[in-house]
Structure 1
């Protein structure tokens, strides 16, 4: 128990103890009132219900909802009913959690059925009601229209409900988000994401887009199962915030899913250069978000750049192990870059940005926030070579002069610092740059 709610529960339990003691002292006079009240809320106990009936009631009630049980204790206190606080279960989610676990196991078990070839298998994981009602005979186009209006969690349940439904959904569902399966352990729930994802690998095998954002308990084995099930059909995956995914999981992903073009692994703190080396095997990769991957160094970035030359958008924000050498390799190998975020890459110096300006002429967005080693040389190269910039973040770059930044703004008409519109030149923390004006 934590915080204020824990204090309230302890106070209520103390009240229950006082109620018990007071009832014992009152003796015979309180028994008729207690018996009548018990009969109303617990008819099976009979008119002469002993105190054990109250304890049984409290135990059953608190197993499902402790707050309800405590409220019941308070009502009993007013009636002078004998109640043993020892019967209050201090884990109110136990019964609910068991049902949730059973449901998850049921989903995975039924998901393991072999697909029906003629869609004649009408067994239902959730009972035979839908089969008896003829729901399994719905035309697939109607079924898909229904699925289009449902959240991903319900689509997952539909696929588990019958083999024919699963076949139809497997054929046509191309995108699935599993964020609903993640549970915050602070709320007392067990994380079901691994079981759900592993079970879904048996159901959805034609996915093009998968979202596992903030699935903080996702493990490599579940990711491997999903990757192997969908193989080269998978084009985009969002693993941002999956803090337990390791190099092994990414290696399995890239081994099975060679056609990935979009990967988000931001805040995946366990990933090292090995993961980025394996991502280089995805030759169609165009977008990668690696913000916060603290273990990435120039070695991993160079391996990625040399093999994934089609990259157009790269986010290396707060990858503090990256220096100008890694950025130079990226610029030389990935000349089609349009978006580059180096915010927080504190080791990057001018030569890295100069290489980007010289090689990546199509660059539209450049983030250099807190790259404090950069000077006017970086801006001079940008002013000389870049003409398509529509976003430039140089906040925290304290060594740049207004004249150097003004030169970039003058040759890129889409850049401005106007407050009445969304600023495209961000100069926060650089008071000396306040005089920079948009191009006329």
Structure 2
């Protein structure tokens, strides 16, 4: 039997084959190129966008990305994971348009987005009740008020990155921690208000903590890390570079059961091996 020469891509089952098998293999650029081919291809892609669960536009600052994001905001309604880090074009208006439709978001990354404000977080705070991962590193616009609202309306967050958010106070972060006792990953790098008091709060209340980043928190000391080693028994990694008052005295309590980003510091001493007359170097903590 001769093959049907009129068979085209659009004759393949859309739901069971194209959306389930083909679309996950295509990048957003590929999908938008396909969308431009014909009216039928536009319909195919637009319907397919409603099936997408994740989008990664991190660092994408191409000239036409704003128009593309507007299309995504209209067509997507079931996104669970979105990465918009380092998107300089992102504004409150287009972000809120997207968030108002996608209320099932579980993971969102807005790190290093300089042209939005804390007002754009309102849809996340009010509507995205399934949120588990929130990344806002280097977001100087993040305010204490926004953090307090987030604390009031959410309970399921397990991972938070607020590194370099210098306007946040220790009290604000402490209140957040008291309400999120299932937090597993926390990044507080280069927040000047972080002290041992906050490390005590983490130690006493965040028993599920696995990954903690306090790089550049220069008011933390061995006392705070000692509390972490005593109470955070599930801790798997601790980042403490550029913390001058944290020494091997406390870090040694964690080594062997958790990764520490700072290598052990040894003192080199010169000694003579007994009965051999040969010099050797030995290492002593």
TM above 0.5, yes or no, is: yes
Larger relative contact order (CA 8 Å, sep ≥ 6): 2
Write the distance in 2 (CA, Å) between the matches of 1:244 and 1:300: 24
Is 1:245 the counterpart of 2:116? The answer is yes
For 2:100 and 2:11, how far apart are their aligned partners in 1? 31
Structure-1 residue corresponding to 2:43: 163
| Secondary structure, counterpart of 1:163 in structure 2 | helix
User: Do the aligned partners of 1:314 and 1:340 also contact (CA within 8 Å) in 2?
Assistant: yes
Shift of 1:364: 0.9
After superposition, the C-alpha distances for 1:242-274 in whole angstroms (9 at most, x for unaligned) are 122322122332222121111221122221323
Aligned residue runs from structure 1 range 289-308, under 5 A: 289-308=161-180
Decide whether the 8 Å contact of 2:163 with 2:188 is kept in 1: yes
Matched, 1:234 2:105: yes
Q: For the Cα contact (< 8 Å) 1:156–1:200, is it kept in 2?
A: no
- Asked if the contact 1:272–1:296 (Cα under 8 Å) also holds between the matched residues in 2, the reply is yes
The equivalences for 1:292-371 within 5 A come to 292-371=164-243
C-alpha distance after superposition, 1:13-32 (max 9, x if no partner): xxxxxxxxxxxxxxxxxxxx
Aligned equivalents of 1:248, 1:436: Cα separation in 2: 54
Aligned to 2:13: 139
Could you tell me how far apart the structure 1 residues matched to 2:209 and 2:170 are?
A: 18
Deviation at 1:327, TM superposition (A): 2.6
Query: Could you tell me how far 1:317 is from its partner in structure 2?
Result: 1.3
Q: Show structure 1 runs of 5+ residues with no match.
A: 1-131, 184-189, 395-425
CA distance in 1, matches of 2:131, 2:94: 18
Question: Within 2, Cα distance between the matches of 1:297 and 1:157?
Answer: 47
Aligned with residue 139 of structure 2, among 248, 256, 268:
268
Superposed CA offset, 1:180-205 (max 9, x none): 7423xxxxxx5x54443343111111
Matched with 1:73 is none
The number of residue pairs the alignment matches comes to 260
Alignment root-mean-square deviation, CA: 2.9
Q: Structure 1's 270 and 299: CA in aligned 2 closer, same or farther, altered over 3 A?
A: same
1:194–1:219: 8 Å Cα contact kept in structure 2?
no
Residue 178 of structure 1 is matched in structure 2 by 57
| Cα gap change, 1:322 to 1:180, in 2 (>3 Å) | closer
> Structure 2: 5+ residue runs without aligned partners?
1-5, 269-281
1:288 Cα offset (Å): 1.6
Give me the whole-angstrom Cα distance separating, in 2, the residues matched to 1:208 and 1:305. 24
Measured against aligned partners, the alpha-carbon deviations of 1:158-182 in whole angstroms (never above 9, x if no partner) come to 5685335422431x31111123742
Mapped partners of 1:197, 1:259: distance in 2? 22
The structure-2 alpha-carbon separation of the partners of 1:257 and 1:436, relative to structure 1 and needing over 3 Å to count, comes to: farther
* Secondary structure in 2 matching 1:340: strand
| TM-score normalised per structure 2 | 0.79
Task: Flag the 1:197–1:312 CA change in 2: closer, same or farther, 3 A.
Answer: same
Give the alignment partner of residue 95 of structure 2, picking from 223, 239, 258.
223
Q: TM-score, normalised by structure 1?
A: 0.53
- Alpha-carbon distance in 1 for matches of 2:53, 2:217: 36
Name the structure where strand makes up a greater proportion of residues.
2
Tell me if the contact between 1:178 and 1:197 (Cα under 8 Å) persists in the aligned partners: no
Cα pair distance change 1:224/1:261, threshold 3 Å:
same
